[in-house]
């Protein structure tokens, strides 16, 4: 049987299928949220006291650990500090102090003692997206895990945060947080 004149060569078909698969895996970009309100200005939102409730789910979606966070942020121009105090459902505690820098045009960097290198992020509209590598203690060892962190301002008080955690490109689980900023007096 003679092949159709419209048939794609095998390599071209494989390339198209792979391109379609990769395009289907492409995620949102922060610029997709540029018109969304209320605008998330990290310098304004993460200033003063805040609280958050969160959970870590494994790759199957099972809740592995819950936690609450008390935090306080302060800014001096473009330099900020966010002091976080975690209390986990198993009774353990943790403190992380972020040193943040606003670079202009919604771009930020951040450092903390358990962050490997520098977190790099961008905000637009009501969203903020940043990525970083965290040194995570697990059963007496430390794993360097990659975090893909998205924050969405919902209103004057509430910010929702969802973070995908991976290692060597494999999805380990997700962190979900709901921040609450008390109203100004």
Residue 124: the pLDDT is 98
Q: Report, as an integer, the average pLDDT of 173-180.
A: 98
Residue 20: the pLDDT is 45
Q: Report, as an integer, the average pLDDT of 119-145.
A: 96
Residue 54: the pLDDT is 98
Q: How far apart are CA 99 and CA 27, in angstroms?
A: 28
Chain segment 141-173, per-residue pLDDT in tens: 999 999 999 999 999 999 999 999 999 999 999
Residue closest to 134 by CA, chosen among 153, 110, 151, 162: 110
Q: How far apart are CA 75 and CA 56, in angstroms?
A: 29
Residue 130: the pLDDT is 97
Residue closest to 183 by CA, chosen among 40, 53, 36, 48: 48
Q: 3-state DSSP call for residue 169?
A: coil
Tell me the average pLDDT of the chain.
90
| pLDDT tops 70 at residue 10 | no
Residues contacting 129, CB < 8 A, separation 6+: 29, 30, 121, 122, 123, 148, 149, 150, 151
Chain segment 11-68, per-residue pLDDT in tens: 544 454 444 444 445 789 999 999 999 999 999 999 999 999 999 999 999 999 999 9
**pLDDT class of 139 with cuts at 50, 70, 90:** confident
């Amino acid at each position: 049987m003679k092949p159709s004149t419209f048939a794609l060569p095998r390599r071209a078909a494989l390339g198209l299928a792979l391109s379609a698969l990769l395009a289907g895996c492409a995620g949102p970009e922060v610029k997709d949220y540029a018109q969304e309100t209320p605008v998330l200005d990290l310098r304004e939102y993460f200033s003063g006291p805040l609280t958050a409730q969160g959970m870590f789910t494994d790759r199957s979606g099972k809740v592995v650990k819950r936690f609450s966070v008390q935090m306080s942020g302060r800014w001096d121009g473009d330099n900020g500090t966010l002091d976080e105090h975690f209390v986990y459902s198993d009774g353990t505690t943790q403190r992380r102090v972020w040193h943040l820098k606003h670079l202009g045009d919604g771009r930020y960097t951040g450092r903390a003692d358990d962050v490997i290198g520098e977190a790099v992020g961008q905000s637009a509209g009501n969203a903020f997206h940043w990525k970083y590598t965290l040194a995570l203690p697990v059963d007496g060892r430390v794993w360097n895990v990659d975090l893909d962190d998205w924050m969405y301002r919902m209103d004057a008080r509430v910010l929702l945060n969802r973070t995908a955690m991976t290692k060597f490109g494999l999805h380990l689980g997700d962190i979900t947080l709901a921040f609450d900023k008390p109203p100004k007096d």
